[in-house]
A and B are shown apart, each in its own frame.
Chain A
Amino acid sequence: MDAALIGQGLLSGLLFGGVYSLMAVGLTLIFGVMRVVNFAHGDMMVWGMYLAWMLATRLGVDPYAGFVLCAGGLFVVGFVVQRTLVDRIVDAPHEMQILLMLGVALVLENAALVAFGPDPQRVRSALTASTLWLGPIFVDVGRLVTFGLAVLLTGALYLFLARTPLGRSVRAAADNPYGALVIGTDVRRVYAVAFGIGAACVGAAGALVSPILPFQPAGGLSLSVASFNIVIIGGMGSLLGAFVGGLLVSVAESMGAVFLAPSMKELVSFSLLIAILLFRPAGLFGKGSA
């Protein structure tokens, strides 16, 4: 096996991992705060991609700038979904929550199918045309920028949670909703904000990945499942776990593509998922048991 090929695989895996991290951070934030698994996560990401596509084709906005608007749009979607639907089932059994979110996922996916049709789309950006060479390894500039922005956004989210008053109430509600309520936090508003931020993360991830990955409405499900894999592997509810898990899973898939076949790369992450589920269900960075 060619060393340059492996190096290339490692690098592309790592760079793509930024997007995986951002998706997973959004999912784990929602779960950490509300204990609700967002089965519509991937479909929200697909809507982020289509928003970026509309901005680019209708208004000529480059996705590397338009991602801010996409994040804003998805924040509203997440906020509204939480307020109108999720809020009613926060205390319901897991099965009911999963089924409700599955319903939301079906509606979002097929609304995209009706609106945009089944054919794959791709957003053009000036940045994706250029490449850099590091010795025998080439770096796609688009992927590099996507990675940089994804890492930056994850860092910004971390600072928001650690340093701002609203961020602190999100953490308080995650740790102990009753305690947060007692000290005067509007927990329901915090829940809606947290769901909105989680959706904004995955909306931004969708916009950032739209120039480097073709997308179609049917892709949401596998993106959701990919996000689930990452948060389980990293540890449900752990931001650091989601971030590192995203990079890890992406590199592992990329190695799977190099050593097995490109269409077999998901096999690696699913096998990893089953191993983690069985032997360390709390995930690599999670606390306590599942």
Chain B
Amino acid sequence: MRWAAVIAIAVLLALPAVLGSYAITVFIFIFFYAFLGQAWNIIGGYAGQLSVGHAAFVGLGAYTSAMLSIHAGLTPWIGMLVGGVVSAALGALIGYLGFRFGLRGFYFVLLTVAFAEIFRIIALNTDWVGGAQGLYITFTGDPRQFQFQDNRVYYYVSLGLMLLATGVVAWIERHRFGAYLVAIREDENACEALGVDTFRYKMLAIVVSAFLTGIGGTFYAFYLFSLQPNSVFGIPLSVEIVIRPIVGGSGTILGPILGSFILSPLAELSRTYFSQGGWTGMHLIVYGALLIGVVLFLPQGAYPALRRLLLRVRG
């Protein structure tokens, strides 16, 4: 397993040498969404608290670092961390309200959706942060401003983010914290009866998850050079974040990565391919069908199924 990971990372590090620029773009999307999915995985997969409002953290992180960069000249390398902290604070607030007031299942989903929507509506109506037009970042190509002439740098940055989040998840899984989260997901009442402070661990999980997702916001803003309330705070982005770990296998280390390797190229290619023929929306029909198929036939996701298959082949 360890050797497989080392080889996989070495291959990914070497790949840009042989890839064309479009393929690099596709890989950037794969890594970036795997990163967001991995961050979601901590609270949504391991702790089993289904958040469909993670766009709130992306948006808040993105707006924070972009505003700091535009108005205060702060480099996004630091703004990124500030954005992460601001998002983590929002995560703490949502978590506090949701967990203290005992909102579970659909009620927790709605709480997260409501927060993301409130931020979207506020951003849309606040001229100070650009209103409906959003924010635009002028391209300077200055690495100190998180801008790179060469697409391959974004490739390595997004790869680094994915490995960072995966490392965090791997650490969590190996420690008591991870075991508590899984126990909370499986049977919260039993867990509490055994004396585990479930509130504390759920809070910790949502704060770490929101912090990482907030960092992702900065990458989003400075890779695309623009951010609009509807795209960074919207429910569709939250769905994009949720769907990869679910399809790949939520609550597993490799699930979000596998899910992103399955879905991101599909989304990217069908977006380019179908939009030429006026078939926009086609890739989302495929998404929907996949989501239905996974729930009905692979409720654990693709990774556990793949693992069983590999073990059987090996004998």
A residues within 8 Å of B by Cβ?
37, 85, 88-89, 92, 94-96, 98-100, 102-111, 113-114, 118, 217, 221, 225, 228-229, 232, 261, 263-264, 266-267, 270-271, 273-274, 277-278, 281, 290
Task: Say yes or no: A98 contacts B106, CB within 8 Å.
Answer: yes
CB closest residue in chain B, given A266: B121
- Would you give the shortest CB distance from B10 to chain A, in whole angstroms? 35
Task: Say yes or no: B291 contacts A95, CB within 8 Å.
Answer: no
Distance, CA A261 to CA B121, complexed state (A)? 11
- The stretch among B82-90, B111-119, B174-182 that forms the contact with chain A is B111-119
Q: Assign chain B's interface to a size class.
A: 35 or more
By secondary structure, the A interface counts as helix
- Would you give the shortest CB distance from B67 to chain A, in whole angstroms? 21
Task: Say yes or no: A96 contacts B295, CB within 8 Å.
Answer: yes
**Is B225 located at the chain interface by the 8 A CB criterion?**
no
Task: Say yes or no: B295 contacts A103, CB within 8 Å.
Answer: yes
Task: Say yes or no: B105 contacts A277, CB within 8 Å.
Answer: no
Task: Say yes or no: A225 contacts B235, CB within 8 Å.
Answer: yes
Task: Say yes or no: A111 contacts B235, CB within 8 Å.
Answer: no
Distance, CA A102 to CA B295, complexed state (A)? 11
Beta-carbon contacts of B101-139 to A below 8 Å, as 1s and 0s? Answer: 101011101110111011001101100000000000000
B residues within 8 Å of A by Cβ?
48, 50, 52, 97, 101, 103, 105-107, 109-111, 113-115, 117-118, 121-122, 124-125, 235-236, 239, 242, 246, 279-282, 284-285, 287-292, 294-296, 299
Task: Say yes or no: A88 contacts B296, CB within 8 Å.
Answer: yes
- In the bound complex, residues from chain B placing their C-beta under 8 Å from that of A271 are 118
Known pairs A103-B291, A270-B118; A217 contacts B281 (CB<8 A) = yes
CB closest residue in chain A, given B291: A103
- In the bound complex, residues from chain A placing their C-beta under 8 Å from that of B124 are 263
Can you give 17 contacting A-B residue pairs, CB < 8 Å?
Answer: A89-B295, A96-B299, A98-B50, A99-B294, A99-B295, A102-B239, A103-B290, A104-B292, A107-B285, A110-B281, A114-B282, A114-B285, A221-B236, A263-B121, A273-B114, A277-B101, A277-B107
Distance, CA A232 to CA B242, complexed state (A)? 23
Task: Say yes or no: B109 contacts A98, CB within 8 Å.
Answer: yes
Q: Which of B107, B235, B296 contacts A281 (CB 8 A)?
A: B107
Task: Say yes or no: A100 contacts B292, CB within 8 Å.
Answer: yes
Task: Say yes or no: A114 contacts B97, CB within 8 Å.
Answer: no
- Would you give the shortest CB distance from A147 to chain B, in whole angstroms? 26
- In the bound complex, residues from chain B placing their C-beta under 8 Å from that of A102 are 239, 288, 291
- In the bound complex, residues from chain B placing their C-beta under 8 Å from that of A278 are 97, 101
Q: Which of A111, A114, A270, A281 contacts B117 (CB 8 A)?
A: A270
In addition to A103-B291, A111-B285, A229-B114, 9 A-B residue pairs with Cβ atoms within 8 Å of each other are: A92-B295, A98-B106, A102-B288, A103-B295, A106-B284, A106-B285, A217-B281, A264-B121, A277-B107
Q: 8 closest A-B pairs (Cβ-Cβ)?
A: A106-B288, A103-B291, A113-B281, A110-B281, A107-B288, A94-B105, A103-B292, A110-B284
- In the bound complex, residues from chain A placing their C-beta under 8 Å from that of B295 are 89, 92, 96, 99-100, 103
Task: Say yes or no: A107 contacts B289, CB within 8 Å.
Answer: yes
Q: Which of B117, B246, B280 contacts A266 (CB 8 A)?
A: B117
Task: Say yes or no: B288 contacts A261, CB within 8 Å.
Answer: no
Distance, CA A271 to CA B290, complexed state (A)? 34
Task: Say yes or no: B281 contacts A277, CB within 8 Å.
Answer: no
Known pairs A88-B296, A107-B292; A37 contacts B106 (CB<8 A) = yes
- Would you give the shortest CB distance from B305 to chain A, in whole angstroms? 16
- Would you give the shortest CB distance from B83 to chain A, in whole angstroms? 23
Distance, CA A100 to CA B288, complexed state (A)? 8
